[in-house]
Structure 1
Amino acid sequence: MIVLLPPSETKRAGGDGPPLKLESLSAPELSPLRGALVDELVELAGDPAACRRALGLSAAQDAEIDRNAHLRSAPTLPAIHRYTGVLYDALDVASLRGASAERARARLAVGSALFGVLRADDAVPAYRLSAGSKLPGQPTLAARWRPLLEPVLAGWAASELIVDLRSGSYAALGRVPGVVRADVVAEDSDGRRKAVTHFNKAHKGRLARALVMTRSEPGDAAAVAAVARRAGMRVERSGDELTIVIDA
């Protein structure tokens, strides 16, 4: 099983790993586009105004531009420790020990606008690039990633169940049929439901944590739902689609 997480705009700074080595990352067939995007971001960082426009940054976020300027030389961290925020707080990989930590390293992957997809141990620097960004003079990131990323994900799906927790913009970078997806809704005392936005991430983080802590190897959506329920989550299933129901 592979649990495919969304990235986060916020990323942990620094690191104790060597500078980025594209050839050492998982899915090496993605290296040409990874390298091209790194080069484009480094060059774009030399024009702060253009960089702000392309990446949707304000002048107060110029530290993000500096990160991109040093992509080739900055220290790295394993991907699963690089990303921060609500989902990753709920996942809390740092607290896992023993077999659970090993399963997290084996099962977790992260979608990325810069790298396409990363496995948990892939070492990357801090960077700024979102799925909706459009670099000057280039097609959309979805148009650039799909021809390369979709065959990679299809290859993974041929041998392992993928639980796809990416948001829509990141799923659009590389779609793959047959994955298990999860959504979160809030239900009030009258049974009325509404989509959850901010806390969507927290509950997906809880689901990801349950899936790396279980010793079982879920093979379909029903088995994934069963793991979530054992972890105390209220989950409904319709085919490969799961709905996590929380109290409004």
Structure 2
Amino acid sequence: MFILLPPSEGKTPAQDGAPLDLSSLSLPELNETRREVLAELQKVSAAPDALEQLGVGERIAGEVARNIDLDTEPAAHALTVYTGVLFEALDVPSVLQAPREKVERVFIASALFGIVGALDRIPAYRLSMKTSLGDLGPLAKLWKQALQEPLAEHFGDAPVLDCRSGNYRRPWPGIPENTVAVNVVKETAGQRKIVSHWAKHTRGLVAAHLLQRRGPLPTSPEAIAEAVAERFEVEFGPSSGKQSAVLTVVLPDA
């Protein structure tokens, strides 16, 4: 199986090390598009209205300025660059101690790179999939065209646990019969509601459980549900037509 994670707005810049080498990234078929997006992001980030174009505020002007030099900034494993609620719950230092063959099955969606492997070396950047980037236009549309064939070929018939949010699912929603989308609800007095903060946190815990549990990764959507049920209360809905399977994690009222 594979695990698909969303990126995070917050990122931790590498303090030293070699800069970005696109040729070293997973799925080299995406490199032409990656170069186009990288060049356009550098151009937009150097413009006087960069913050407006990228849809961000003054408080992160320094992060936008760093975009200008992304080809020379130090790079680090993607899993250590992304921060935030999901990655804190994932417990990255512990995951990196898991068998390498498991960690290599983890991929992270990216507005800049399309998708990267957990151990790919990337610089910290600022860019959202919701952005219409200069002359390239909407990134979601651009990546939808670029990702379809490479991801379908790379993932093949293997099940994919999809922990991404909606903006990052749209460019490549996955092959329905092989994809398991993770939803999280909180149950209070018999009533359920979606909880965005705890959803990110719980998805991180789910991914960590699968990577750190003994034995190989599950080999079917049903087996994924059974493995996650070892730790969480879950409900599994199989795929139907164009809809992927859904694994709902039910959180009790605290």
Same-fold call, TM cutoff 0.5: yes
Residues 144, 194 of structure 1: alpha-carbon distance in 2 compared, 3 angstrom cutoff: same
Alignment partners' CA distance in 2, 1:15 and 1:175: 34
Alignment partners' CA distance in 2, 1:3 and 1:73: 29
Q: Is the 8 A contact 2:158 2:220 kept in 1?
A: no
Instruction: For residue 20 of structure 1, give the secondary structure of its aligned residue in structure 2.
Output: coil
| Aligned-pair CA distance for 1:97 | 6.2
Q: Is the 8 A contact 1:48 1:65 kept in 2?
A: no
- For these two proteins, the number of residue pairs brought into alignment is 244
Quick one: which amino acid aligns to residue 186 of structure 2?
A
Residue of structure 2 in register with 1:76 after alignment: 75
CA deviation string 1:78-119 (max 9, x = no partner): 111110010000101202465x24244222110001000101
Alignment partners' CA distance in 2, 1:31 and 1:96: 27
Unaligned runs of 5+ in 2: 239-244
Residue of structure 2 in register with 1:118 after alignment: 116
Residue of structure 1 in register with 2:17 after alignment: 17
Q: Percent identity?
A: 36
Alignment partners' CA distance in 2, 1:68 and 1:144: 20
| Aligned-pair CA distance for 1:221 | 2.0
Q: Is the 8 A contact 1:30 1:116 kept in 2?
A: yes
What is the TM-score with the length of structure 1 in the denominator?
Answer: 0.93
Alignment partners' CA distance in 2, 1:93 and 1:177: 28
Unaligned runs of 5+ in 1: none
Residue of structure 2 in register with 1:177 after alignment: 175
Quick one: which amino acid aligns to residue 165 of structure 1?
C
| Aligned-pair CA distance for 1:173 | 1.9
Q: Is the 8 A contact 2:40 2:135 kept in 1?
A: no
| Aligned-pair CA distance for 1:23 | 1.0
Q: CA RMSD in A?
A: 1.5
Residues 210, 103 of structure 1: alpha-carbon distance in 2 compared, 3 angstrom cutoff: farther
Residue of structure 1 in register with 2:161 after alignment: 163
What is the TM-score with the length of structure 2 in the denominator?
Answer: 0.91
Residue of structure 1 in register with 2:27 after alignment: 27
Alignment partners' CA distance in 2, 1:97 and 1:180: 23
